[in-house]
Amino acid sequence: MPDPRLPEDDAASYVLGGLSAEDRREFETRLAESEELRALVRELEDATVALTLASPPKRAPQRIWTGIEKAVAQESKSRSAAFWFGWLRNGWAAASICLLGWVLYAFLAHRPASDITTSKTSDDRLTAAISPTPTQALPNPLSSPSNAAMKLLQARAQELAELRRKIAQMETERTQLSRWLARQSAALSESNRIKFCQLVPASVNTDGSAPPLSPGLQRAMLMAIARELGWFESKPGAPDDSRFGQTPFSIDGIDFVNLHPNTNGVAYQAPPQPSAQSTATPQTTIPGFVAGNKLVLAVDSTVAPPQSSVTFTVTDANQNQTGGTVVLGDNPTVVTIPLTAEFAQGGVAPGPFIPTGLIPTPDGYLAVTVSSLSSSGIFSTNWFIMPANP
């Protein structure tokens, strides 16, 4: 009876997978130490090749390779994704992109363009490689180890070209946007452009809540805009600036007053310091707009009582003051106040009427002071602020 522990028997069991886990570990230890045993195992393994070859031959259907190709392509993608994720995470991306860019540049600079263009995908090429074409020799991937690298470079070159195209497109869009922005900025700085604003009492400006406009002020503002746009000129007897300059004028219940020198307003002088000052500060918003070198405001009885003498003072960047005094009637009044050229260019100073604690922003504020003296002798002063570039 043969010895059941003969090394040859263990080797045969090992090759055929018949050893238990423990016996297998023990045999592998012996295998590592014995060249003779390793040679025996090799011989027995070759016998399994003979057994395989003895199997009745069958032709493998094409679909097997198709399945292999798909599985391998899918795994390669996963492998690639894992590789790139780790690569990006480790921060090698930037350095390698630079290197790749340099290599591509060198490559593209020394190769004809036709070599770079490939019409087939790698999958197509692989399918072509396995297809039985006896006259066409299978490309030997090992005889030219640089082939794979070359194909990779070509693929990267295509990706790079696509990226360059996108960058160029974005560059064009950026240029167009810059031009549009420049045109808009230029349009904003045009002197004849109307810039709307609301003069909000300084006491409420900081919290952003402006008191609502009265209906009279809204109508006066619309009339002022219509006049600024020249809509009245087609109306027979409509006032122009020269006529305005001679006398106050009323259109449809709205009074127009121009404080330019030599007009119907009173030349600017500092408001008088009254002996008594009202503590009741009107909480109203004065609507207006800046057009060229003038500030147009609409006021009514919410700003000062009718028949009050109201003085407007505007302080510009150089502490120059302009303004004038009007006597309010019963109608809402549109007041045109001249501005200095400095203000028209955007220069602004806080001025002496900015309340303590108000911090000018980098854009600055324009201070507009409205002092009123009522017919009953009550004096009040309110300051309004507006951004330098409304």
Partner 1 sequence: MLRSSGDGTPEDSLKAEVREDARLLAAIADGNQHALAALYRRRGDMLYSLLMRMLTNEMEAQEATQDAFVAIWQRAHKYDPCRSSPLAWMVMIARGLALDRLRARSRRSANHTAYEHEVMSLELEINRPIQAERDDLAAACASALNRLPEDQAHAVQLAFLRGWTHKEIASAAGEPLGTVKARIRRGLLALRKALKDYHA
Residues near partner 1 (CB under 8 A): 1-4, 6, 8-9, 11-13, 15-18, 38, 41-61, 63-65, 67-69, 71-73, 75-76, 122, 126, 129-130, 132, 138-142, 148
Q: By C-alpha distance, which of 355, 365, 362 is closest to 386?
A: 365
Nearest approach, Cβ of residue 84 and partner 1 (Å): 14
Nearest approach, Cβ of residue 110 and partner 1 (Å): 25
Q: Are 350 and 385 in contact (CB under 8 A)?
A: no
Nearest approach, Cβ of residue 36 and partner 1 (Å): 14
Nearest approach, Cβ of residue 95 and partner 1 (Å): 23
Nearest approach, Cβ of residue 33 and partner 1 (Å): 14
State which residue, 68 or 341, has the beta carbon closest to partner 1: 68
Q: Are 369 and 383 in contact (CB under 8 A)?
A: yes
Q: Are 343 and 366 in contact (CB under 8 A)?
A: yes
Q: By C-alpha distance, which of 113, 93, 105, 122 is closest to 160?
A: 105
The DSSP 8-state label assigned to residue 234 in this structure reads G
Range list of H helices, the chain:
7-16, 21-33, 35-53, 62-89, 93-109, 113-116, 122-130, 146-188, 202-205, 215-228, 241-246, 341-344
Upper half-sphere CA count for residue 192 (Cβ side, 13 Å): 3
Altogether, the residues listed in the chain come to a count of 390
State which residue, 6 or 341, has the beta carbon closest to partner 1: 6
Nearest approach, Cβ of residue 150 and partner 1 (Å): 13
Tokens 């790139």 -> residue: 84
Residues 84, 91: Cα–Cα separation, whole Å: 11
Q: Are 255 and 237 in contact (CB under 8 A)?
A: no
Strands 254-258 and 333-338: parallel
State which residue, 56 or 236, has the beta carbon closest to partner 1: 56
Nearest approach, Cβ of residue 139 and partner 1 (Å): 6
